[in-house]
Structure 1
């Protein structure tokens, strides 16, 4: 059974169509990469799944289902039970993921209080475990303010927060854009390890086919609001059918698959 099913989804801004009749299906354990150039509709699609579209954008037709629940029909109050627990996000703006005037621990605690009835001690224990799982010194980071952490540490803390409630679907929207290449590779490897442990479905928004090659098992190519090609990653990369997909692949210097894990330095 699919974790996420998008059917004939169209999103508009007034008379302008931003996303047109797209369909996607992601099963448990899938890592689906949604690729395409800036402005192709990737992030708009990702935002629509979690009910995060700006007010001026509307879903004019189609549906988004998480399991058996039609997400596109939920009211804002109903969304609170789904965001963070069933669906979780990791955004490219890791600094914006945290309130600057609260410690990381306070923000973990607030999120856990929203969804769980655990004691404060148990909530802290959960947070420390998740921070340690993403290779952070849990106790120190828990007491830190966002400005006291590096970009890589903040993004790992964001991953810990996004996965602490074991969501069915994790949406990673360009999660490494603001990081240097080495830190980005480590963050994605970490995300891959966590995904394998939990079997959650991952929707990975990116324009970098090198990351797709290494981590995804499925991919969909988006251009001007439409999905022009989709399928198993290896099939799409080795035998692309659409001219735009071929152009994307040709623009990458090398797609040699790297199977070796990176060494932590």
Structure 2
């Protein structure tokens, strides 16, 4: 397995937020973690990269292949984030410092991972921008000069810059309009096909689960209530909560027709 989350619980001083969660992600698959806001999806994803706030405590084990991520020191974990696993967040604007150019963000990211040659860093940044359909002229621009879709593409370019094995994508289309969101996910699917990385895809949108995921888990109030192959869960949801979520989502015909209309627009 690429990633194994084994009986993980996350607690604050007086409350258990994540309760004994177990899931696994295979190499090269698109794994969707689905649930309403506040179900604990994002907290679980942050625990994988040791990015939780200091007031929260984690119990259990999280393995990247044979490496227990929770046993690593902060310094060791910094070498894993970016090179082995990378993140793309919903708040794409908050991922950028407004007074630094896109190029300076690429510079700092690569320096942090030991790439010392300035020419190599610059050429790698240009290639990364090109790989997500952006012109290298954006290298000299500031974040506020880019559209939301362009900034999210830059986030993808940076996340994939060091060829990680696992990409954690947390509600990455929520802040985008429908067309921009569709283009972002199509881009991500194309990049995954090219390089074979696995994706932990955190979402509450069943349209995206239907279109892209291989397997999924449904999370409610800090617990996994159902998991399995996408087509089986969508066709035969076992848990009442899963049934409620699916019934509240658009019908399959609406999903397919919406996808066709978006494809025509693109």
* CA distances 1:61-114 after superposition (whole Å, capped 9, x unpaired): 210010111111111111110111111000000001111111101111111122
Structure 1 residue aligned with 2:10: 11
Residue 64 of structure 1 is aligned with which of 59, 62, 65? 62
> Displacement of 1:142 after TM fit?
0.6
* CA distances 1:131-189 after superposition (whole Å, capped 9, x unpaired): 1111111x211111101101110001001000111111100000011100110011011
RMSD between aligned alpha carbons? 1.4
Distance of 2:160 and 2:182 partners within structure 1: 19
Where do 1:228-239 residues align within 5 Å?
A: 228-239=225-236
CA contact (8 A) 2:30 2:214 kept: yes
TM-score, length of structure 1 as denominator length: 0.95
Matched, 1:251 2:248: yes
TM-score, length of structure 2 as denominator length: 0.95
Q: Which runs of 5+ in 2 are unaligned?
A: none
Q: Which runs of 5+ in 1 are unaligned?
A: none
Secondary structure, aligned partner of 1:33? strand
Distance of 2:61 and 2:144 partners within structure 1: 40
Distance of 1:244 and 1:177 partners within structure 2: 22
Where do 1:121-140 residues align within 5 Å?
A: 121-137=119-135, 139-140=136-137
Distance of 2:51 and 2:134 partners within structure 1: 29
**How many aligned positions are there?**
262
Structure 2 residue aligned with 1:53: 52
> Displacement of 1:15 after TM fit?
2.3
> Displacement of 1:50 after TM fit?
0.5
* CA distances 1:223-264 after superposition (whole Å, capped 9, x unpaired): 010000001111100111000000000001223464768257
1:136/1:220 CA distance change after superposition, 3 Å? same
Distance of 1:75 and 1:262 partners within structure 2: 45
CA contact (8 A) 2:179 2:265 kept: no
Distance of 2:214 and 2:169 partners within structure 1: 15
Where do 1:21-170 residues align within 5 Å?
A: 21-59=20-58, 61-117=59-115, 119-137=117-135, 139-170=136-167
Secondary structure, aligned partner of 1:126? helix
Structure 2 residue aligned with 1:182: 179
Distance of 1:160 and 1:52 partners within structure 2: 21
